[in-house]
Structure 1
Amino acid sequence: MTNNQCIILDENIELSLKREDLIHPYISGNKYRKLKYNIAFAKANNYKTLLTFGGAYSNHIAATAAAGKEYNFKTIGIIRGEELGAHLEKTLSENETLAYANSCGMEFKFISREAYRAKNDMSFLNTIREEYKDVYILPEGGTNDLAIKGCEEILTTSDLTYDYVCCAVGTGGTLSGIINASKSSQKVLGFPALKGDFLTTEIAQKTNATHWELIQEYHFGGYAKVTKELVDFINGFKKEQEILLDPIYTGKMMYGIFDLISKGYFPQNSRILAIHTGGLQGISGVNKTLRKKGLQTLDI
């Protein structure tokens, strides 16, 4: 069970952070939730190999590799960017995510970005099954019905007393599970890390509930985009609260919540619960990009 840590408590607003990042050192946050029932299903059906998809700094790739090692599965990662496989030793020396996955025994297949866009097409998946035979395939980001079931367990009975529940959004699976587990009297707010309104349709296909909303203004330019303003906020938050946020998901959500509080978005006496979904392993990759640009890095 994870704990809720109070961040703001005054006469007007209470904000707490659910520390899902503390569940497991490597299978962290929502990745643990998404993998839980998929791992159980794979074991029950005698699969020996997990295969999934991701970018070079994917939290899901790292978590799947860790889960494979812990639960005795072979793992295969289909990685976006065929150039990364041209000099694998160099890639592993420069990329902590892939180096960690490799240390857990994950086998890599690097494909072009064009080919990667077809990752959900049935013809592409059939080709993968032909090549790797009897594998249990997890989608990019890990979202499927079993993942949503796992994410429904993020909220506990005591969490149903909050007025608002906030969560960062990637593929929408985590938010969908939270929506399903929440009460209709609560308002669930999703903070997308990606630009565009397509996630509204995606999430609506995963839940019948309507007591949720996407807050679109805090993506900071899009997925994996990080600004000095965001870095300053995350570093300041860590200094004040002694909690590290990731810059792709949770950092953007927390920035958005603080900004909305300052603008009077939440009514007086509101109780807000924000979900820390982990993803801290990706910070090294972001810092590498920031250093290349001569910009301030995130304090780890």
Structure 2
Amino acid sequence: MGALGGREETGMAGLGVRVPSPVERLVDSRLSGYGVEVFLKRDDLIHPELPGNKWRKLGPNLRAVLDQGHETIVTFGGAYSNHIRAVAAAGRALGIATVGLIRGEEHLPLNPSLTAARRDGMELHYVDRGVYRQRASAEFLGSLPARFGRFYLIPEGGSNDLGVRGCVQIAAEIGTSYDVVVCPCGTGGTLAGLSHGLASVAGTRAVGIAALKGADFLRDEVRRLQHAAFGGVSENWSIELGYHGGGFAKMSPELLAFAAEFERLHGLAVERVYVAKMLAAVMDMVRNGRFVGGQSVLVVVTG
């Protein structure tokens, strides 16, 4: 990890997280002639198991877990959740028990995300989809201590107040050099924190690329998260809803081919659930004039 050239965060039992993440200019012939410069912020290089926004949101929560003396983390996610996988890896590294409440039914064999989570010691419990939708209710949350004892709760995607504030650090590392900053959008936490951090940079806006179908609700969710974390809502962001590729964790043949070609051209491992859709969206938006010639666009590669 020394190649990052950043500083290592020394707390939390030597997780070996490296920040700030580096920025690289994207040189791609498919962008030629449009007058738009695209850069990649390589948050995927922060840590091999806690990359990108997973670390940005989990870091402050893990500090709270240790400061408060918790021995168990309970969290939520879908079967393909990168968040579930990251929490399990962090729990293993820190010696903290982890419990994942997984939306839907168990399907065997387990997919790679859940296989990794179980390998890292996470206890998996499957929750009916109807019940899962009530996961934030007082009734559902009140039933958990009887099952799991004393625990620290991290919501789906890590998007609580601490997690959202952690994503402000992305903006702090960026500075004032870019007109647009693009990030993937699943629960809205990364976009909420990033855009709040960018609000003081005149003329810079944040764009979230929704990775799931029917994600209109994310606009209200980002506003809610910002209000809860910062006491107000910024207006310097938007969400693109048309690049979901068929739905969460779904990949069309065209999107799969794009991801494979991007990897071949640039030597960058393209995460399929969020990052592939975001990169394809940025390329399409450049081609279709969504970014103005002369603009610089920074893409946060979350991994």
TM-score, with length taken from structure 2: 0.85
Q: CA deviation at 1:157?
A: 4.4
Among candidates 117, 125, 133, match of residue 117 of structure 1? 133
Among candidates 186, 192, 202, match of residue 176 of structure 1? 192
SS of 1:2's equivalent?
Answer: coil
Take 1:118 and 1:148, find their aligned partners in 2: how far apart are those partners? 22
Take 1:54 and 1:120, find their aligned partners in 2: how far apart are those partners? 13
2:56 is matched with which residue?
33
Q: CA deviation at 1:81?
A: 3.0
Take 2:166 and 2:173, find their aligned partners in 1: how far apart are those partners? 16
1:285 is matched with which residue?
none
1:272 aligns with 2:297: yes
2:80 touches 2:249 (CA, 8 Å); kept in 1?
no
- Matched residue pairs, number? 271
2:160 touches 2:225 (CA, 8 Å); kept in 1?
no
What percent identity do the matched residue pairs reach?
A: 37
Q: CA deviation at 1:83?
A: 3.7
1:137 is matched with which residue?
153
C-alpha spacing 1:137/1:158, structure 2 compared with 1 (3 Å): closer
TM-score, with length taken from structure 1: 0.85
2:75 is matched with which residue?
52
Question: Bigger shift: 96-105 or 267-276?
Answer: 96-105
Among candidates 249, 261, 267, match of residue 236 of structure 1? 261
Deviations along 1:188-236, one digit per CA (max 9) or x if unpaired, are 1111112231111111223311011112221122222211111111111
Structure 2: any 5+ residue segments left out of the alignment? 1-19, 227-232
2:104 is matched with which residue?
81
Letter in 1 for 2:92: K
Among candidates 197, 208, 211, match of residue 236 of structure 2? 211
Letter in 2 for 1:249: Y
2:210 is matched with which residue?
192
Considering only aligned residues, what root-mean-square deviation do their CA atoms show, in Å?
1.7
Take 1:157 and 1:113, find their aligned partners in 2: how far apart are those partners? 38
1:166 aligns with 2:182: yes
2:263 touches 2:269 (CA, 8 Å); kept in 1?
yes
Take 2:113 and 2:241, find their aligned partners in 1: how far apart are those partners? 28
Letter in 1 for 2:94: Y
Question: Bigger shift: 35-44 or 71-80?
Answer: 71-80
1:99 is matched with which residue?
115
Letter in 1 for 2:246: G
Give runs of aligned pairs for residues 5-24 of structure 1, distance below 5 A.
5-8=24-27, 12-24=35-47
SS of 1:206's equivalent?
Answer: helix
Among candidates 23, 36, 45, match of residue 4 of structure 1? 23
Take 2:53 and 2:173, find their aligned partners in 1: how far apart are those partners? 18
Among candidates 280, 283, 299, match of residue 258 of structure 1? 283
SS of 2:246's equivalent?
Answer: coil
Q: CA deviation at 1:130?
A: 2.1
Take 1:103 and 1:8, find their aligned partners in 2: how far apart are those partners? 38
1:184 touches 1:211 (CA, 8 Å); kept in 2?
no
